[in-house]
Amino acid sequence: MALNRLNDVLRQSVGALEQEGRRKGAEAVVVGVLPPEGERGPRYLLAGYGDKPFIRMNSNSYLGLSRHPSLKQAEEEAIERFGVGPGAVRFISGTYAPHVELERSLAAFHGREAAMIFSSAYATVLSVVVPLTTDQTVLISDELNHNCIINAVRLARPLEKLIYKHLDLESLEQALQKAAAMGARRVLVISDGVFSMRGSHAPLAEIAQLVNHYDPQFAENAILVVDDSHGVGAFGATGRGTEEYTGAQADILIGTLGKAFGVNGGYVVGSSDLITYLRETAPMYIYSNPITPGEAAAALAALNLLQTEEGQQRLQHLTAMTERFRQGLRALGYASFAGVHPVVPLVLGEASQTNRMAAFLREQGVLATAIVYPVVPKGEASIRFQISAEHTRADVDEVLGILQAAR
To the query of whether residue 196 is one of the catalytic residues in this protein, the response is yes
CA distance readout (Å), 390 to 233, 288, 386: 14, 33, 11
Q: Are 128 and 177 in contact (CB under 8 A)?
A: no
Catalytic residue among 68, 230, 317, 341: 230
- Report the b/e string of 286-325 with b at 16+ CB within 10 A: eebebbbbbbbbbbbbbbebbeeeebeebbebbbebbeeb
To the query of whether residue 161 is one of the catalytic residues in this protein, the response is no
To the query of whether residue 230 is one of the catalytic residues in this protein, the response is yes
Contacts of 67-73 with CB under 8 Å at 24 or more apart are 67/33, 67/42, 68/262, 68/301, 68/302, 68/305, 70/301, 70/305, 71/262, 71/263, 71/298, 71/301, 71/302, 71/305, 72/298, 73/301
Catalytic residue among 66, 127, 196, 336: 196
Catalytic residue among 68, 110, 259, 317: 259
Using alpha carbons only, give the angle 311, 316, 321 rounded to the nearest 5 degrees: 125
Q: Are 152 and 125 in contact (CB under 8 A)?
A: yes
Query: How buried is 9 (Cβ within 10 angstroms: 0-12 exposed, 13-18 middle, 19+ buried)?
Result: exposed
Q: Are 114 and 103 in contact (CB under 8 A)?
A: yes
Distance (Å, whole) CA 60 – CA 197: 12
Q: Are 151 and 198 in contact (CB under 8 A)?
A: no
Query: Catalytic residue numbers?
Result: 196, 230, 259
